[in-house]
Amino acid sequence: MVTTAGALTDGSLSSIKGFLKTLSPVDQVGADARAAMLATRSIKTASKKWAIDMAISMIDLTTLEGADTDGKVKAICNKAIRPDPTDPTVPHVGAICVYNDMVTVARKHLDESGGQDIPVAAVSTAFPSGRASLEVKERDTKDAIANGATEIDMVIDRGAFLSGDLEKVFSEIVYIKSLCADKAHLKVILETGELVTYDNVRKASFLAMAAGADFIKTSTGKVAPAATAPVVLVMLEAVRDFYQMTGVRIGVKPAGGIRTTKDAIKQLVLVKETAGDEWLNPGLFRIGASALLNDLLMQRQKLTSGHYGGANYVTLD
Amino acid sequence: MSNSKSRLDVKKTYKLFIAGAFPRSESGRTYEVKDSKGEFVANPSLASRKDLRDAVVAARSAHGGWAGATAFNRGQILYRIAEMMEGRSAQFIDEIVALEGLTPSAAKKQVEEAIDLWVWYSGWCDKIGSIYGSTNAVSGSFYNFTIPDSLGVVAVFAPAKPSLLGLVHSLAPVLAGGNTAIVIASEKYPLSAITLSEAIGTSDVPGGVVNILTGSAAELAPWAASHMDIDGIDATGLSAAQEKEVRIAGADNLKRISTFKDGASPQRVLAFMENKTVWHPIGV
Amino acid sequence: MTFEYSSAPESRAIVTIDPVYKLFIGGKFVAPKAGKTFTTINPATEEVLAKIAYAEKSDVDKAVKAAQEGLKVWSKMAPSERGKYLYRIARIMQERAREFAVLETMDNGKPIRETRDVDIPLAAAHFFYHAGWADKLEHAGVGNNPKPYGVVGQIIPWNFPLLMLAWKIAPALATGNTVVLKPAETTPLTALLFAQVCQQAELPAGVVNIVTGDGATGAAIVNHPGISKIAFTGSTDVGKLIARSVAGTGKGLTLELGGKGANIVFEDAPLDETVEGIINGIFFNQGHVCCAGSRLLIQENIQDELLEKLKSRMSQIRLGDPLDKNTDIGAINSREQLEKITELALSGDAEGAERFSAACTIPAKGFWYPPTFFTGVTQAHRIAREEIFGPVLSVISFRTPQEAIEKANNTPFGLSAGVWTDKGSRILWTAKHLRAGVIWANTFNKFDPASPFGGYKESGWGREGGRHGLAAYLKGAK
């Protein structure tokens, strides 16, 4: 069955509910077991090197702190361009992710330092809670885009989702997407830790995709649990199924809790064996992280040098 | 306790065991423990009501994880405690000889019985449901089953003697049933309890599952009895009068209170469990 | 460039395989009287692993005498002491787990991931669980004065060598019996390593005896007058043979035989997890599983969608070197078994069913069969009735729940079944009507020492595991 995304639902509550009812349920224990089995894959030598470099290129290097300053943002921009100053073969990261009032300094600094290829993503729509009026969310998004963000990471209204106001959730995504138009791609953060059940994750994924998401993203990183393996599995199954239905590939971004090379490689295995090799590139898979980058670099160093490294051999930022 | 002629031994400090750590009493109090000959042995902590309060907090927060672990996993952890107890046999024997005044061979017998009894209860964790749970033949197209479920946080007043064996009789079944425990050790013979806590502390037991306080049962019993976040009490180590007071105060939250004459039995596990019955239709 | 997994072999260095193995009788390794041996090979490479002692009737006799001597010591022991020996065995198996896993993979052909994550942990758990029963038998609901048989004879198959050994020896010892056990001809090595564990645990001599050999060795055990009870896991045909052999002897007998398990998928099943369950049900352990979900009963209105997902998922299955940590499907255990699978699958083609096989690179040496399913299968096809014992699934459709039950039950076997649906009441209704000893709902191939396992009808007699499994080794209990 191939149909266009727009034909899946007209956005009214009854239509959305009807569409979501057609989705097959998720058995939690079975999904956990599948994710656990895929976590036993042993990725060594050449495949490990490939995976490390791919993971680096997929990182949305993130700083989302109240204490962020121009200095902090410039530092991570430098890190994004040149993760390892001693090794020019290390790829640059996938993007920078900041609050919308840091977009200007990030974009300017990247452009002046050789990072023109690196997009700036801004979190938006009253991130992380999403608890604000539509006007505030609109302003948040417009500011980010005007400042140079070419990626918008919005949050869905979880309160509306959990209380059944699916029309509100849907229409907000449609509206923010319209603001992005051709200037930015839209990632929709589901905040899976608050949705709790895998059935909810599956339904929210489809709702977001039907409303126009370019990427579905697990979490804000401010709530635990964040990007657990079974949740990412369920979202990858959703984008795979959505592609079967519509011919359109939507991206997936896990964010939060992915700290080690092992974690990152497990994510890539999940992608390969669920959605498929076509998703294994930064255009369709990103990893929201900060500390992960240094662990990837240390593992990369070990592959070349043969011995274990230490924190002094990777830059702080 | 023993000392070679040329070397001074490093004596143990006997502290409380709460949330997997070994703090002193927040009150700073200790009391003297003497051996059966009246000689000084140690100054264990004299636990206060605030230590008890802290122990309850630890036991409550550990309960979800302990009860939620598989029964097999609990059995493995409890068996591991027995492995650690075996390794500390000499220490247990020394303490029993000193405090209870038993001969070394009688003390050894007590320690061996205590370890074997602990092993016995470890093996109950994943079997209690298959004997004392049931499917019930109700009228109508319903599947109906009953399973024993853990009670929650249980305070254990250990009997005075035998100091290690009596404690195991009370504590092991509480843990086997998926509960977390706060032990108030015998005031006169507290050392076995603390050495047991060291065995527990090295056995993969999550912090807070077992908490051990040394001190005065007379002082702590009323506080335990009235504490609204304690679900059950083993009052075996209390006097009849104390037990009556505990039952009166415990009625405020309908605590499950039991005393036991000795004897190992699965009934001691069930005494601190609840039966849950579930119905579900059978139909197409 | 795509993400290809580099080879990730588990090291063989942890295991020492002796060139020759003797019999384990009376606590020692002893040579067989006639000095005959046979070889065991690695079915993935066809390399010879070792020479194994061949036990003839006189050797079996020696083993039974040793078991009788062992019984004198074992029966006088306090039950809690017997339990402590079993705890020791469980702990040593846990300590040597990796060694057992590598050895099992080399001798059997199954992937290291399965031996490491399933076979060996379950085997150790089985000893741990039964250790706890040794001194609690009066509570187990098997009578108030349960008595062991004495010396029991146990014959186990090649599909889960160490796990089947655990399923047999643990309850037998926990209930106070001593044993003479014969591992399968193609997979003796982990049993012989287990004998070393018995020595490390200081198990009294004669309590466990391992005699290696073939069908004739098994017959010598079955017919030995000194053995009061036989426990057999293997094919239904041999099971019937044994039942006839012990008729009139008064020997106790439990059997765990073949199956043709129906895996029933209703329209509201959680699809992705169902696909995993189907894959697990028939391709786990190369389909060498008595309780395999070898018949897929699909509700007709979701058949196309489910089969598409199944095909797509099968393309992810990795077949190859069993010692590679990423291998999903290993080797078929023997040339003989491969021939049986091939013959039956060809009958599927001949009888008009439609074959689909996952595209796999088949290694040059060793015995291999790609994961396969047949559609258009009906009850009258051989592949719907006969146990293939390989990675071949027969797909049958149904329209209503009643029809699913009729088709599922329409077989002389009755070992296992699966039910996939989102509706609780339907799970319970289906379970109520299925004539099978083990029913998995929204899961498959789950085993636990606490969960009784065994079949209805020609899938056997008796249960193994759980409180119910103790009855097999106690006289007077049923």
> What was the pLDDT predicted at A1?
43
**Cβ partners under 8 Å of residue C392, min gap 6:** C282, C287, C294, C341, C344, C345, C348, C369, C372, C373, C374, C383
Does C452 reside within a domain? no
Cβ within 8 Å, pair C270-A26: yes
Q: Give chain C's domain count.
A: 2
> What was the pLDDT predicted at C1?
67
* Residues of A assigned a catalytic role: 153, 217, 253
* pLDDT, mean of residues C410-425: 97
Tokens of A260: 């080690």
Asked if C421 and C439 count as a contact pair (C-beta separation under 8 A), the reply is: no
Does C15 reside within a domain? no
Tokens of C172: 């037998």
Does C357 reside within a domain? yes
Give the CATH number of the domain where residue C32 resides.
3.40.605.10
**Cβ partners under 8 Å of residue C179, min gap 6:** C67, C151, C152, C153, C154, C168, C169, C172, C173, C207, C208, C209
Beta strands, E only, A130-213: 151-155, 185-189
Asked if A125 and A155 count as a contact pair (C-beta separation under 8 A), the reply is: yes
* Ramachandran angles phi, psi of C35, nearest 5°: 70, 15
> What was the pLDDT predicted at C18?
98
For domain A5-306, which CATH number applies: 3.30.565.10, 3.40.50.2300, 3.20.20.70, 3.40.640.10?
Answer: 3.20.20.70
Cβ within 8 Å, pair A30-C326: no
Q: Nearest-CA distance from C447 to chain A in Å? A: 14
Comparing CA positions, the residue from B150, B153, B151 lying closest to residue B60 is B153
Q: Nearest-CA distance from C392 to chain B in Å? A: 30
**Cβ partners under 8 Å of residue B261, min gap 6:** none
Chains linked to B by 3 or more Cβ pairs within 8 Å = C
**Cβ partners under 8 Å of residue B83, min gap 6:** B203
Does B270 reside within a domain? yes
Distance of CA C89 to the CA centre of its chain: 20
* pLDDT, mean of residues C226-245: 97
* Residues of C assigned a catalytic role: 256, 290
> What was the pLDDT predicted at A3?
60
> What was the pLDDT predicted at C41?
98
The amino acid that residue A24 corresponds to is S
Of C83, C131, C450, the CB nearest to B130: C450
Angle at C270 between CA A3 and CA B129, to 5 degrees: 170
Counting one residue from chain A and one from chain C, the pairs whose CB atoms sit within 8 A come to 65
Angle at A147 between CA A141 and CA A151, to 5 degrees: 55
Distance of CA B50 to the CA centre of its chain: 19
> Which residues form the domain of B85?
43-281
Chain C residues in contact with A280 by the CB 8 A cut-off are 2-3
Helices marked H in B29-88 — which ranges? 49-68, 71-87
Chains linked to C by 3 or more Cβ pairs within 8 Å = A, B
Q: Inform me whether the C-beta atom of residue C325 falls under 8 Å from chain A C-beta atoms.
A: yes
Query: Rounded CA gap, B31 and B215, in Å?
Result: 8
- Do both C250 and C273 map to the same domain? no
Cβ within 8 Å, pair B116-C424: no
> Which residues form the domain of C100?
20-257+457-475
Residue A5 reports pLDDT greater than 80 = no
Complex prediction ipTM:
0.93
Residue C478 reports pLDDT greater than 60 = no
pLDDT, one tens digit per residue, over C430-475 is: 999 999 999 999 999 999 999 999 999 999 999 999 999 999 999 8
Counting one residue from chain B and one from chain C, the pairs whose CB atoms sit within 8 A come to 68
Query: Rounded CA gap, C8 and A41, in Å?
Result: 9
Chain C residues in contact with B284 by the CB 8 A cut-off are 401-402, 425-426, 429
> What was the pLDDT predicted at C32?
98
Cβ within 8 Å, pair C428-B266: no
**Chains B and A touch, contact meaning at least 3 pairs of CB atoms under 8 angstroms apart:** no
Give the CATH number of the domain where residue C430 resides.
3.40.309.10
Dihedral sign (CA C11, C13, C15, C17): positive
Comparing CA positions, the residue from A209, A183, A191 lying closest to residue A122 is A183
What percentage of chain A has pLDDT greater than the value 90?
93
All residue ranges of chain B with pLDDT < 50 are none
> What was the pLDDT predicted at B3?
53
Map out the domains of chain A as residue ranges.
5-306
Does B20 reside within a domain? no
Of B72, B127, B283, the CB nearest to C136: B127
Residue of B nearest to C135 (CA): B120
Residue A80 reports pLDDT greater than 90 = yes
- Average model confidence (pLDDT) across chain A: 96
Asked if C297 and C397 count as a contact pair (C-beta separation under 8 A), the reply is: yes
> What was the pLDDT predicted at B261?
86
Give the CATH number of the domain where residue B271 resides.
3.40.605.10
Count Cβ neighbours within 10 Å for each residue of C200-236 and write b for 16 or more, e otherwise.
ebebbbbbbbbbbbeeebbbbbbbbeebbbbbbbbeb
Residue C412 reports pLDDT greater than 90 = yes
Ramachandran region, residue A99 (left: φ > 0; alpha: ψ -120 to 50; beta: rest)? beta
Which of B121, B122, B130, B265 should we substitute to test contact with C (largest number of C Cβ atoms within 10 Å)? B130
pLDDT, one tens digit per residue, over A134-151 is: 999 999 999 999 999 999
**Cβ partners under 8 Å of residue A91, min gap 6:** A53, A56, A57, A83
Residue A107 reports pLDDT greater than 80 = yes
| Beta-bridge partner residues of B138 | none
Chain C residues in contact with A46 by the CB 8 A cut-off are 6
> What was the pLDDT predicted at A304?
87
pLDDT: which is higher, C263 or C475 = C263
Q: Inform me whether the C-beta atom of residue B80 falls under 8 Å from chain C C-beta atoms.
A: no
Dihedral sign (CA C131, C133, C134, C135): positive
What percentage of chain C has pLDDT greater than the value 70?
99
Does B33 reside within a domain? no
Query: Rounded CA gap, B121 and B113, in Å?
Result: 12
* pLDDT, mean of residues C115-120: 98
Chain B residues in contact with C127 by the CB 8 A cut-off are none
Does C2 reside within a domain? no
- Average model confidence (pLDDT) across chain B: 96
Cβ within 8 Å, pair B72-C133: no
Beta strands, E only, A35-114: 59-62, 95-98
